[in-house]
């Protein structure tokens, strides 16, 4: 595919102004036009105190053709929908190493929806193709349902293709996908001597080499001209699935002398012939990874690890992994290979991973691979396992005072303290009157361990009293952290609890007993949930965790419907949620038929005419306002349907997979 090049650019017009062959009247008109364009946008002059204001898609698209303003300050003033720009229509902001965006773009906590860029062979692709400079900054910006396909291009990310000596802070990409050849990331393709903090990506990522859920390559190449670097990826996460051949990780594909701290990933990383695949990082060549974890499955061929694929000269400390790991050569529960690197105070779940060896291979110069660090699930969900290894937890000062980790013992693995919001008792990541009511119920009690460790004993003195009331008041009406876990208001179904036990067993919880299908009435309902033989839930094609829902459908002049009754009815109005999110995975051979989600009988249809044929995990985000007439304070049922009952047609047959149905709040 030939890359569409910009025909008219203000920089080009500026060069024409100095050519003597053009009449002076034309020169004057062109130059004036250029200056007027600079002053337009939605207001402002582009300075730190008076940034250019961006209100519309047209104004955002204008930035990319105005090279004179790539070093200016911009501020997004409203949510913007870019669905009007398809293919290569959008003017990427910063198109090469020499034409970089070096200014400041403040997203102002607004969102850009439906950014799309499809090209067969372009490098430096993203909303920002190339960003760099010591003052370069992109902050507080969200991308919703963005799709980028750069074909054989490199330096590809939804937000930024290439980031050099710049900063990204408080940004995210939720929904959509990104693909290219090399240096491909869910948020940033390549980060060189740069800082990325408080950011996340929930997108599918694919490529050939150096591919990561958040960043493709994180490189800290320090030159003699600039010996000091602030390179860091911190307080970040990625939850999308990764498909790549070489150097692929749930968070970062290739970490080259870079620093990664306080980060996690949950997506699967896979390629049948893959080399250097890891749940968190695919390949490390120098640098450090500290206080991180991964939970996704990893499968490949050579140098495959639950946390790290291949480690050469890197330092790994205070990390863990829990996902299943499969491969052929150099396969380890935590790490595929360790050459001249060191590992310290790290663990993995040997039950979930299926492996009892920490490293697939360690050469004579590598240190730290210790099979004794394999733990069973109950040990991995116990604080003492980590405290004895020197991990810095809340309410202890022996191992440090930063309070990096927290844990709900017996319920979950360790998580970062920024994933917990003290005083948020109902788990909506905002402290308001609902939390105050729950706090009041525990007044003067000694019980601080309710509601998934969000205890009312905020000061930890053993009693809920006036000191806790003061701590609660200090946080009144504050929101949680601006990354993925802070957005989740309610998990409707993550499909992790289903089992294969017979119905006479009191612990039986089969997926088709909860999601009622048409198995006993296939003439009217063409849906069958679950596989026909155990395991009934899907365990290979999974978006997050260990299981997803297989959904066989026959929509030939009928509707396929799987419905879950919510008993008691759920009050979604009190959660603060704005959108419903679910992930689906189709197949290119599936029959085409309308897909909908139904709440209390009200259906909202997916707008992609061939959604059932999307052969990758894709997030479907539905604004709750589109469920017209539904009482969100009393949601009785949720159903997933294929086919339109008002227009029965030859919709075909096929197999879909669904996972991670959740409610999200603002941000």
Same domain, 431 and 407: no
**Those residues with Cβ within 8 angstroms of residue 449's Cβ, 6 or more apart along the chain or in another chain:** 455
293 part of a folded domain: yes
Q: For the chain, first and last CA: distance in Å?
A: 36
Q: What is the pLDDT of residue 354?
A: 95
- Which of residues 321, 354, 380 is at a domain's end? 380
Task: DSSP letter for 519, please.
Answer: T
Regions of the chain where pLDDT drops below 50: 1-39, 428-429, 448, 450-452, 479-487, 667
Taking only the tens place, the pLDDT of each residue in 88-127 is: 999 999 999 889 999 999 998 899 999 999 999 999 999 9
Q: What is the pLDDT of residue 20?
A: 37
Residue 334 vs residues 384, 408, 624: alpha-carbon distances, Å: 20, 23, 41
658: domain CATH number is 2.60.120.260
Task: Identify each DSSP E strand in 103-208 by its residue range.
Answer: 104-113, 116-118, 128-132, 137-149, 154-157, 160-164, 167-169, 172-179, 182-185, 188-192, 195-197, 200-206
Same domain, 632 and 495: yes
Distance CA 170, CA 150 (A): 25
Same domain, 618 and 496: yes
Same domain, 397 and 446: no
**Those residues with Cβ within 8 angstroms of residue 398's Cβ, 6 or more apart along the chain or in another chain:** none
Taking only the tens place, the pLDDT of each residue in 305-328 is: 999 999 999 999 999 999 999 999
Residue 305: helix, strand or coil by DSSP?
Answer: strand
Same domain, 658 and 538: yes
Same domain, 242 and 366: no
209 part of a folded domain: yes
Same domain, 278 and 216: no
Task: DSSP letter for 373, please.
Answer: G
Q: What is the pLDDT of residue 165?
A: 92
Same domain, 501 and 648: yes
441: domain CATH number is 1.10.1330.10
Same domain, 519 and 643: yes
Q: Which residues pair with 302 in a beta bridge?
A: 275, 329
Domain count, the chain: 6
256 part of a folded domain: no
Same domain, 181 and 322: no
| Domain of 349, in residue numbers | 268-380
Pairing of strands 288-294, 315-321: parallel
112 part of a folded domain: no
465 part of a folded domain: yes
183 part of a folded domain: yes
522 part of a folded domain: yes
531 part of a folded domain: yes
Same domain, 547 and 614: yes
- Which of residues 47, 68, 91 is at a domain's end? 91
Contact by Cβ (8 Å): 557, 648: yes
Same domain, 510 and 648: yes
């Amino acid at each position: 595919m030939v890359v569409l090049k910009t025909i008219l650019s203000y920089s080009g017009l500026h060069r024409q102004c100095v050519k003597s062959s053009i009449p002076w009247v034309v020169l004057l008109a062109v130059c004036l036009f250029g200056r007027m364009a600079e002053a337009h946008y939605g207001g402002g002059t582009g300075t730190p105190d008076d940034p250019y204001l961006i209100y519309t898609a047209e104004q955002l698209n204008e930035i990319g053709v105005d090279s004179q303003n790539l070093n200016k300050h911009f501020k997004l003033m409203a949510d913007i929908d870019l669905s009007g720009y398809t293919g290569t229509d959008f003017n990427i902001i910063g198109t090469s190493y020499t034409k970089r965006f070096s200014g400041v773009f403040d997203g102002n906590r607004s969102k850009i929806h439906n950014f799309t860029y499809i090209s067969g062979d372009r490098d430096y692709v993203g909303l920002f193709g190339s960003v760099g400079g010591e003052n370069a900054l992109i902050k507080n910006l969200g991308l919703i349902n963005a799709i980028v396909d750069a074909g054989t291009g490199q330096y590809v990310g939804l937000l930024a293709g290439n980031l050099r000596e710049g900063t990204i802070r408080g940004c995210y990409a939720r929904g959509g996908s990104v693909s290219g050849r090399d240096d491909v990331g869910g948020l940033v393709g390549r980060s060189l001597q740069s800082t990325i903090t408080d950011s996340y990506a929930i997108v599918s990522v694919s490529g050939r080499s150096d591919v990561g859920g958040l960043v493709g390559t994180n490189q800290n190449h320090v030159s003699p001209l600039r010996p000091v670097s602030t390179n860091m990826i911190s307080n970040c996460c990625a939850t999308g699935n990764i498909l790549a051949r070489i150097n692929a990780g749930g968070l970062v594909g290739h970490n080259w002398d870079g620093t990664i701290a306080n980060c996690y990933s949950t997506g699967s990383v896979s390629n049948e012939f893959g080399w250097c695949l890891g749940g968190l990082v695919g390949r490390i060549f120098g640098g450090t990874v500290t206080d991180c974890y991964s939970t996704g499955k990893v499968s490949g061929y050579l140098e495959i690890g639950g946390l790290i694929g291949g480690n050469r000269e890197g330092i790994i400390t205070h990390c863990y992994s829990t996902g299943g790991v499969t491969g052929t050569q150099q396969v380890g529960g935590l790490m595929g290979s360790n050459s001249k690197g060191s590992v310290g105070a790290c663990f993995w779940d040997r039950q979930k991973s299926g492996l009892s060896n920490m490293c697939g291979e360690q050469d004579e110069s590598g240190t730290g691979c210790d099979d004794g660090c394999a733990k069973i699930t109950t040990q991995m969900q116990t604080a003492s396992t980590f405290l004895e290894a020197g991990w810095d937890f809340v309410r202890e000062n022996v191992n440090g005072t930063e309070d990096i980790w927290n844990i709900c013992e017996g319920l979950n693995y360790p998580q970062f303290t920024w994933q917990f919001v003290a005083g948020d008792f109902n788990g909506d990541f905002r402290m308001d009157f609902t939390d105050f009511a729950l706090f009041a119920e525990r007044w003067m009690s000694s019980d601080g361990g309710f509601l998934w460790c969000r205890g009312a004993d905020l000061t930890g003195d053993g009693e809920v009293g006036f000191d806790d009331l003061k701590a609660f008041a200090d946080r009144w009406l504050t929101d949680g952290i601006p990354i993925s876990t802070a957005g989740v208001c309610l998990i409707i179904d993550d499909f992790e609890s289903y089992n294969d036990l017979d119905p006479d067993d009191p612990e039986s919880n089969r997926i088709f007993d909860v999601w009622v299908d048409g198995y006993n009435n296939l003439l009217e309902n063409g849906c069958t949930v679950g596989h026909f033989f155990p395991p009934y839930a899907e365990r290979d094609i999974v978006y997050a965790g260990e299981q997803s829902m297989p959904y066989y459908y026959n929509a030939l002049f009928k509707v396929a419907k799987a419905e879950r009754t919510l008993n008691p009815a759920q009050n979604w109005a009190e959660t603060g949620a704005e959108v419903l999110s679910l992930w689906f995975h189709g197949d290119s051979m599936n029959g085409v038929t309308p897909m909908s989600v139904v709440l209390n009988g009200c259906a909202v249809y997916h707008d992609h005419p061939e959604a059932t044929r999307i052969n990758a995990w894709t997030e479907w985000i539905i604004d709750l306002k589109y469920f017209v007439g539904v009482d969100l304070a009393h949601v009785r049922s949720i159903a997933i349907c294929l086919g339109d009952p008002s227009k029965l047609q030859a919709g075909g047959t096929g197999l879909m997979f669904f996972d991670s149905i959740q409610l999200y709040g603002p941000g």
